[in-house]
Structure 1
Amino acid sequence: MTSLLILNGPNLNLLGTRQPDIYGHATLSDVEDLCNAKADALGVTISFAQSNHEGALVDQIHAARGQHDGIILNAGAYTHTSIAIMDAVASTEVPTIELHLSNIHAREDFRHHSYLAKVAVGVICGFGAAGYPLAMDAMVQHLENRA
């Protein structure tokens, strides 16, 4: 059975209360519920995790190799700063989709640059919590096309 890691970075534990005008009112628990429902519909299994620490995210990405078929990664601000996370994704060779709740291209200039996009199979941004099931659909399709 296909297994996906849904990995969330810094400040995403504050969803629902942190700048809801940008990130929406859904909590991280609501997002996890959306992902679990989508996983059931797709017939895949998921692991859902969040950390505010760059090294912990790198460790999760490393651990995904041989355990998960794909990664949905909302690295938050680390998207724009972390060569370490980019290198982890490239090194593990687990297909990864970069995900953002907000449209990073309609925000501050520094958010327009993504280290992850260079190693991701695709990027989904701007759809709020609905982006997670979209990313899951896209990853399952990507994995089926690779097979």
Structure 2
Amino acid sequence: MTNPVLVLNGPNLNLLGLREPEVYGSTTLAEIEALCRATATDHGLRVDFRQSNHEGVLIDAVHEARTAHRGIVVNPAGYTHTSVALRDALAAVALPVVEVHLSNIHRREPFRHHSYVSAVADAVICGAGAHGYQLALAHLARLIPQDR
């Protein structure tokens, strides 16, 4: 497959399945990765799946995506509400971006209601749990020309 997409996961998502399952569910990040790989294949995409707790590592991955990927699915996690730098990196790469959140950030604490990333994303999916990643990949596939 020649349509690689970056699925980028922010801080603390490595603890999925253990951390606040009443909020984030019991699905692990490894299970989400498997789900993403299967969904991507169904849409003629190939997934580069990454997670980091470090803002700079996430930004470096976005910069790399500029020439190595056709689009980005990003769950910025806690950086959603704090990282202008991640937002600027996503804006700079000129790729389709779909922002995804496991929980509905608009039904949570007021500080979580604002996303710096949403302003530069082509779509935002929140509150659908792990299924949100499938929705994000399906939508990203629609945004990416399948000619190469």
Give TM-score scaled by structure 1 length: 0.96
Give the counterpart letter for 1:70 in structure 2. G
1:144 Cα deviation after fit: 3.9
**What per-residue deviation string (whole Å, max 9, x for no partner) do you get for residues 83-105 of structure 1?**
00000001111211111000000
Structure 1: distance between partners of 2:121 and 2:40: 21
Give the counterpart letter for 1:69 in structure 2. R
What residue in structure 2 maps to residue 24 of structure 1? 25
Residue 134 of structure 1 aligns to a residue in which SS? helix
Structure 2: distance between partners of 1:42 and 1:87: 28
What residue in structure 1 maps to residue 4 of structure 2? 3
What residue in structure 1 maps to residue 135 of structure 2? 134
Give the counterpart letter for 2:22 in structure 1. D
Which runs of structure 1 show a deviation greater than 4 angstroms over 4 or more consecutive aligned residues? none
The 5 Å alignment of 1:74-89 reads: 74-89=75-90
Unaligned runs of 5+ in 2: none
Structure having the higher helix fraction is 1
Residue 69 of structure 2 aligns to a residue in which SS? coil
Structure 1: distance between partners of 2:142 and 2:94: 17
1:3 Cα deviation after fit: 1.4
1:80 Cα deviation after fit: 0.4
Unaligned runs of 5+ in 1: none
Structure 1: distance between partners of 2:143 and 2:114: 24
Structure 2: distance between partners of 1:40 and 1:32: 12
The 5 Å alignment of 1:106-145 reads: 106-144=107-145
The 5 Å alignment of 1:53-92 reads: 53-92=54-93
Structure 2: distance between partners of 1:71 and 1:101: 16
**What per-residue deviation string (whole Å, max 9, x for no partner) do you get for residues 62-82 of structure 1?**
000111010000000100000
